[in-house]
Amino acid sequence: MRVSEKYLKELLRIVVAGRAGGICEFPGCINHQCDPHHAYSQRNNAIKYDPDCCINLCTEHHTGNTISAHRSPLQFKKIIIENLVRSEEWFDEVMVKAQRVVKDDNYFREECKFKLLAEKELMAA
């Protein structure tokens, strides 16, 4: 049976939120209702379910505010780097990962599920 995209996205959300302590990672924000933002397009299979390529953001800083990841990506990236939330090197590494071509087949989804579940279990321990 194929692992669903909905299931993998929920696991990704749990892991990214857990890494961020459950709050928005935008400097000064303490909002707890967040989703993972992919530094580069989540349509890219190579980074779609990779928590190392995500940042935990509330709706305001993800898509809503004038200084949000989607509305003003360059300004957003500058703030994230200046406040040491992520580094320029992190953005570069994600870009390199995003260049890979990965087939979204059942093997790929099972591998992602295994990695995400393993990290989720480590956080619970």
Q: Which tens digits make up the pLDDT trace of 33-91? A: 999 999 887 778 889 999 999 999 999 999 987 789 999 999 999 999 999 999 999 99
Domain ranges of the chain: 5-124
Q: Is the pLDDT of residue 114 over 80?
A: yes
- Sorted by sequence, the CB contacts under 8 Å of residue 35 that are 6+ apart come out as 13, 56, 57, 59, 62
What distance in Å separates the CA atoms of residue 41 and residue 48, rounded to the nearest whole number?
A: 8
Three-point CA angle 44, 1, 55, nearest 5°: 30
Instruction: Decide if pLDDT at 125 tops 90.
Output: no
Q: Which two tokens stand for residue 70?
A: 């989607």
Q: Which residue has the higher pLDDT, 22 or 66?
A: 22
Q: How many CB atoms lie within 10 A of CB 94?
A: 21
Query: What value does the mean pLDDT take over residues 107-123?
Result: 95
Q: Is the separation of the CB atoms in 88 and 52 below 8 Å? A: no
